[in-house]
């Protein structure tokens, strides 16, 4: 059965192009269109689509308000189109907070200069979102209100590793893609400011978006969340978010671990890449790593997780039911590389228990 899509866009030109791209894919059926948020809410309730593509800036009712109303009345997988600006990044994060599960950059130039690649990306995203259906949307898109974060404390550079059984954990490494901007706050907001180890996070996201995302996570969490810069020290209770468009690795500098932020191989599919981050962490920390693979499209993280497991590290993966896309966690699970498969609501408390 084809994935039923509602297209919401105030630009008639862009709306027609999106519809034509989606209609060209046999997996997808465009069942309706809307030119503003008010129409989108009415069409969503009337048509019950599997996926909605949604613009942010529209007359009468903006896309963020429309997302909130749709998620309250008829939860649906919503893909936002976002401008690649600082304001566009903040608005997109607002839309993800409201319940949208994914976004794509809105590049008008690509409609004419590279339509085939844009069409492939759009159709693959929509097909992946539609394949999972609404249960994951209901679980991930409306997180429970977190308590006010505890005041952040200054981290000391040296602490005794946390010992759990045969492990002496020195680091948490987390990877996510589609659905990650909603999943990561659920996980990180449960961790205490006194967390005795540092965290590294790879979230597939454009370069314009990661600074705003790090800032938002920092506001939502008791731990400190920082947009990683080259040479940043790995400190207890501090999470470093890999910059979009760059690769993040780790190295030893004196008695401290530090991150290296570099361009990396231009031929790589993902920037940042979970495989590259995990591989670097495995080389430096061996089995003393707790790694977590969250919701995401593709298989980034699988080969890095393989190296982590070979070194004796622990690998957790999010389960299929709570994932927006079960690509990344499913890939490591299928490869028999996971120690635990957990629903999203259990991952944060599980980490807090390990490191209490």
Q: Is 280 a catalytic residue?
A: no
310 vs 134: which has the higher pLDDT = 310
Angstrom distance (rounded) from CA 49 to CA 30? 9
Residue 289: both structure tokens together: 């790593």
pTM of the predicted model, to two decimals? 0.88
Average pLDDT, the chain: 89
- Give the active site residue among 77, 82, 119, 177: 177
Q: Which CATH superfamily is 3-140 part of?
A: Response regulator (3.40.50.2300)
Per-residue model confidence (pLDDT) at position 275: 97
Q: What is the DSSP string of 143-210?
A: PPPPPPPPPP-PPPS--PPEEETTEEE-EEEEEE-TTHHHHHHHHHTTS-TT-SS-EEEEE---TTTH
Angstrom distance (rounded) from CA 314 to CA 162? 13
Which segments of the chain belong to CATH 3.40.50.2300? Answer: 3-140
Give the confidence band of 252 by pLDDT, cuts at 50, 70, 90: very high
- pLDDT (tens digit per residue) in 197-224: 999 999 999 999 999 999 999 999 999 9
Angstrom distance (rounded) from CA 209 to CA 277? 19
Best CATH choice for the domain 162-354 from the list 3.60.15.10, 3.40.50.11900, 3.40.50.180, 3.30.365.10:
3.40.50.180
Q: Is 300 a catalytic residue?
A: yes
Give the confidence band of 66 by pLDDT, cuts at 50, 70, 90: very high
Give the confidence band of 135 by pLDDT, cuts at 50, 70, 90: very low
Per-residue model confidence (pLDDT) at position 82: 86
Rg from Cα positions in the chain: 20
Per-residue model confidence (pLDDT) at position 142: 45
Per-residue model confidence (pLDDT) at position 323: 93
Per-residue pLDDT at 117 exceeds 90: no
Per-residue model confidence (pLDDT) at position 158: 41
User: Taking residues 248-269, what's their average pLDDT?
Assistant: 90
- Give the active site residue among 10, 94, 218, 300: 300
Lowest pLDDT segment from 181-190, 247-256, 259-268, 310-319:
259-268
Contact 294, 184 (CB under 8 A): yes
Per-residue model confidence (pLDDT) at position 166: 55
Residue 215: both structure tokens together: 């800032």
- Give the active site residue among 94, 204, 218, 322: 204
137 vs 229: which has the higher pLDDT = 229
């Amino acid at each position: 059965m084809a994935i039923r899509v509602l297209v919401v866009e105030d630009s008639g030109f862009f709306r027609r192009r999106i519809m034509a791209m989606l209609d060209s894919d046999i997996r997808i059926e465009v069942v309706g269109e809307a030119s503003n948020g008010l129409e989108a809410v009415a069409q969503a309730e009337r048509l019950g689509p599997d996926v909605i593509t949604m613009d942010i800036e529209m007359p009468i009712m903006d896309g963020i308000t429309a997302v909130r109303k749709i998620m309250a009345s008829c939860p649906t997988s919503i893909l936002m189109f976002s401008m690649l600006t600082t304001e566009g990044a903040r608005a997109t994060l607002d839309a993800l907070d409201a319940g949208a599960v994914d976004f794509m950059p809105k590049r008008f130039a690509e409609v004419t200069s590279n339509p085939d690649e844009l069409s492939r990306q759009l159709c693959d995203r929509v097909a992946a979102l539609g394949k999972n259906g609404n249960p994951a949307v209901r679980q991930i898109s409306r997180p429970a209100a977190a308590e006010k974060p505890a005041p952040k404390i200054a981290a000391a550079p040296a602490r005794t590793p946390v010992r759990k059984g045969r492990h002496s954990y020195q680091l948490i490494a987390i990877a996510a893609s589609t659905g990650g901007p909603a999943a990561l706050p659920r996980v990180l907001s449960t961790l205490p400011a006194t967390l005795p180890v540092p965290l590294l996070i790879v979230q597939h996201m454009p370069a314009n978006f990661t600074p705003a995302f790090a800032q938002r996570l920092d506001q939502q969490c008791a731990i400190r969340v920082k947009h990683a810069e080259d040479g940043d020290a790995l400190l207890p209770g501090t999470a470093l978010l890999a910059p979009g468009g760059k690769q993040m690795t780790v190295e030893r500098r004196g008695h401290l671990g530090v991150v290296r932020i570099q361009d990396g191989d231009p031929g790589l599919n993902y920037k940042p890449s979970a495989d590259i981050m995990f591989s670097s962490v495995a080389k430096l920390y061996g089995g003393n790593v707790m790694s977590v693979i969250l919701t995401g499209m593709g298989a980034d993280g699988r080969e890095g997780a393989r190296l982590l497991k070979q070194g004796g590290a622990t690998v957790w993966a999010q389960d299929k039911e709570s994932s927006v896309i079960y690509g990344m966690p499913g890939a490591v699970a299928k490869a028999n590389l996971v120690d635990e498969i957990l629903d999203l609501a259990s991952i944060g408390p599980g980490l807090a228990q390990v490191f209490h």
